[in-house]
């Protein structure tokens, strides 16, 4: 599961009283239906259902925290790769001041060092 989705599912245990049990069951059913499109029935029964049951039984602060940390890390990595791709596309590979060794704002007279 994507980390952000895992965090949101872990949060459902805390907001279950506000949303109602039918919302939680509806989300569970939708996730299992979507996983059936990717996994076999055996994979859904042995992998997806036990994970969902474990994560959705009450609030899970560990799952929420780790999920958000992984989502933040993977998102920042994706942005970094996107920026690197743009710099290569425009022929500026290795020119960015933040990527040059020994270049700090105090030692640079211009953005190229």
Mind listing the pLDDT tens digit for each residue in 14-68? 777 777 767 778 888 998 999 999 999 999 999 889 988 888 777 778 878 888 8
pLDDT recorded at residue 40: 92
Name the average pLDDT for the chain. 78
Q: Torsion angle, CA of 21/27/31/36, rounded to 10 degrees?
A: 70
* Cα angle 98, 103, 108; round to 5: 110
| Other CB atoms within 10 A of residue 109 CB | 6
pLDDT recorded at residue 54: 81
Contact status, residue 71 vs residue 80, Cβ threshold 8 Å: no
């Amino acid at each position: 599961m994507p980390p952000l989705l895992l965090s949101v599912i872990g949060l459902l245990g805390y907001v279950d009283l506000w949303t109602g049990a039918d919302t939680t069951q509806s989300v569970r059913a939708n996730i299992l239906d979507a996983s059936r499109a990717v996994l076999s029935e055996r994979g859904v029964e042995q992998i997806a259902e036990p994970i969902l049951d474990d994560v959705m039984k009450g609030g899970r602060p560990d799952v929420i925290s780790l999920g958000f940390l992984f989502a933040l890390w993977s998102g920042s990595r994706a942005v970094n790769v996107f920026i690197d791709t743009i710099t290569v596309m425009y022929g500026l590979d290795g020119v960015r001041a933040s990527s040059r060794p020994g270049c700090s704002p105090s030692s640079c007279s211009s953005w190229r060092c």
